[in-house]
Amino acid sequence: MNRIEKSYDVIVAGAGPTGLMLACELKLQGVNVAILERRSNGTTSESRAPGINSRTMEIFEMRGLVNEFKSLGKPLPA
């Protein structure tokens, strides 16, 4: 494997929901970020977030994403 050396401000360990959201937030602030995932296929073949809690929806609202998630999701009874 050919490796290219590069410098990053932050390295995020894990491409699950938390790692990806953190990396996106950092990138929006201009941080040079890299995501490292140990699984060769990433996390696309598994559900790591079967539900979205209210705090996450608040974050999505801050980023203008809440309506898209609401339209695609199915609310659960409280």
Q: What is the pLDDT of residue 76?
A: 78
State the burial class of residue 12 (Cβ atoms within 10 Å of its Cβ: 0-12, 13-18, 19+).
buried
Q: What is the pLDDT of residue 75?
A: 80
What tens digit of pLDDT does each residue of 14-67 get?
Answer: 888 888 889 999 999 999 999 998 887 666 666 656 678 888 889 889 999 899
- The first and second tokens of residue 53, run together, are 């809690």
The predicted model scores a pTM of 0.66
Q: What is the pLDDT of residue 68?
A: 92
Q: What is the pLDDT of residue 42?
A: 62
Q: What is the pLDDT of residue 45?
A: 66
Task: Assign 3-state DSSP to the chain and report helix, strand, coil percentages, each to 5.
Answer: 35, 10, 55
